[in-house]
Amino acid sequence: MTDAAFAECKAGLQDKAVQAGVSADTASRVMADVSYLERVIELDRRQPEFTTTFADYLNRRVNESRISKGREMLAEHKDLLARVTRETGVPAPYLVAFWGLETNYGSHFGKMQVPSALTTLACDPRRTTFFTEQLIAALRIIDEGAIPAEQMEGSWAGAMGHVQFMPTVFLKHAVDADGDGRRDLWNSLPDAMMSAGKFLESMGWDGDYRWGREVLLPENFDFSQADGRRLPLAEWRKLGITDAFGNALAREPIEAALVVPSGHQGPAFLAYSNFRVIMGWNRSEFYAIAVGHLADRVAGAGGLQNPPPEDQPALSRDQIMQLQETLSAKGYSSGEPDGILGSNTRKAIRQYQKAEGLIADGFPSGQLLQALDIQAGS
């Protein structure tokens, strides 16, 4: 983008901010210091060549260091966390888990100047509307005195503070829990933890139940049922599912979905309603399991009874596109091939597996790739 084009875009965004209620003084002062950040565009457009396996994802995020530090934080901040739990219903280990995954307990907030990052993204044609909204929200946060503009640092996409709230989430859900008159998610842990609790509460967190649990599946289980359907626990019991230690599932009037992130060779989980709440924070199933498992570990639980296999191949985007194209040619379409292993692709895999007499877990295993003549690791 040329300097002239960016200057013109900045001026237009400044006008929009004032029209949205940001004071003219704040909008003028902050936007005058905004600069174009080429690095932000590079990060926004960077697509990883290979997917991340569940084993790699979980082992990197729920490691002994993070578990140990989380237990320390749970003890050190027990009074604050107990207060948040009383007011929001979210148990302390979950608050600590979000904190640990988002910023490693406040040790990495991100170093990007948020107004500049958001302006850069708002002036890029890919997601102009979304980032314009985020920029205006960031200016409103500065306008209300939560933090000086020069101290508003965060991720390249504009996530901020201990729990990495986007500006629109900050405006709607951040609270002043320490009574100093400011909603400060960078320097006030009470504000950050209470805001996280309030956000989760607003999405429907059920304090009576956990996130879900690891479970044990019976032999010859029909993995096609791990397709997102939600069934009462009683129905899963009838299908022979127990907890990870072989004990009967609790007789609770709740529904759960079966999740098998590594396919039939890895761990299985029953995901309760709070799992969906976690995904309201981050739409990744891997992330939601990591939050739940880290919360369990911080609270004193042991590791998974069936850890994810570490020898599963990480597929490249080209391989996934080839998989999508091959399945489509055989009559199992997942839509336009995009190189992303989403729910539609898993559904197509599951349909093909079932038709071919394979275990219908919707997982792109080496066996599946071989059956479709797709080279693993190519």
Instruction: Write down the residue that tokens 């007499």 correspond to.
Output: 357
What's the pLDDT at 49? 78
Mean pLDDT of 259-288: 97
**pLDDT classification of 55: cutoffs 50, 70, 90:** very high
Across the chain, mean pLDDT equals 96
What's the pLDDT at 313? 85
> How much is the pTM?
0.94
What's the pLDDT at 256? 98
Q: At a CB cut-off of 8 Å and minimum separation 6, what does 306 contact?
A: 214, 216, 244, 266, 267, 268
Its CATH class, for the domain covering 3-47+108-202, is: mainly alpha
Mean pLDDT of 349-361: 94
What's the pLDDT at 378? 43
- As a whole-number percent, the residues of the chain with pLDDT over 90 amount to 91
pLDDT digits (tens, 9 = 90+) for 142-186: 999 999 999 999 999 999 999 999 999 999 999 999 999 999 999
Domain with CATH 1.10.8.350 in the chain: 3-47+108-202
- As a whole-number percent, the residues of the chain with pLDDT over 70 amount to 99
Mean pLDDT of 44-72: 93
Q: At a CB cut-off of 8 Å and minimum separation 6, what does 130 contact?
A: none
On whether the CB atoms of residues 109 and 186 are closer than 8 A, the answer is yes
pLDDT digits (tens, 9 = 90+) for 79-115: 999 999 999 999 999 999 999 999 999 999 999 999 9
What's the pLDDT at 229? 94
**pLDDT classification of 376: cutoffs 50, 70, 90:** low
**pLDDT classification of 377: cutoffs 50, 70, 90:** low
pLDDT digits (tens, 9 = 90+) for 303-340: 999 999 999 989 999 999 999 999 999 999 989 999 98
